[in-house]
Structure 1
């Protein structure tokens, strides 16, 4: 099997999905080339990027191997799974299968149940609706707040120093960007003391700190 020897990450500095992938790359100390795709300017719809990713989304990971082969991977969770399978140490999961399943549950609660409903394309569609009585920022804020109320309760029995227990896992890489989105949409995090505590601590953890939007070359 050919060995991957170069990674190119197409991403956007403020994309929470991109932040997840960057955090895993940092944790596993995988060098990669950073290629910015400006979502606000619509660069994801360019012909050049469409050839790489017909879904018109970031992140997109281009994997080049030692035999000159190249593969394109889409969707943050699929990319993260590939990185975990290819570079299993340090792992983003607990060893126990039940605990691993719980970590995945937390991650899916965020990446499937919260983030997609407040992303850029959804917000723009809400703004386009002529009969809409709510602006996209209001929609995002209320949606996140409603979901955070449930997540705060859900995590109380599972969180320690980290989102799950006392070790860095996939759950942390998903939680931090989502809380950052909440703050950007002016959600009052004092209402969620557990989520706030986890977020403030995890921002000091090196892989997440290095991968945060303020440290990216395309930050605006």
Structure 2
């Protein structure tokens, strides 16, 4: 193929943060921004993104698994997602915006296993096709605020016995703090890839503007 006819590889953007940080909303708004700029774009999520990975997600969020079993299931779902959806879309020239990726696995699954955070990145390197995000936004929200947002979102249905909630939604504040600290550790470890967006009283549109400005730079 003539090099002038090759499709330019799309960018891979991930958003990370504790539940209730607002990252899913930002994924939707970033997609709208890309569309407004005539940037070919696709949004997706993890765990999930493909039919099989979504089935695995349902098990992950509603069933208690052994820590290593949970980690391996997330990795299996990711492999399916990368091969079937993420890589083909990027290679077709689309920007892919993903709600959670490897850093969430390091925090939510890796922190439950001794040495698990490093293990997550090692397994990714050994088992996955060669892909990492071009840029990751860590939406840094105080754990207490994030937990309160989740409780408000679930309203009166907030209880461990209600299957409408996933099991991560009913965790206590100490758990939110542990995950939040995990993301901060990763942001310090990988500063060239992970950009921390500290959220206090920023409105959603203002936050989206800050994210889009970073996207333009990559």
TM over 0.5: no
Report the TM-score, using the length of structure 1 for normalisation. Answer: 0.36
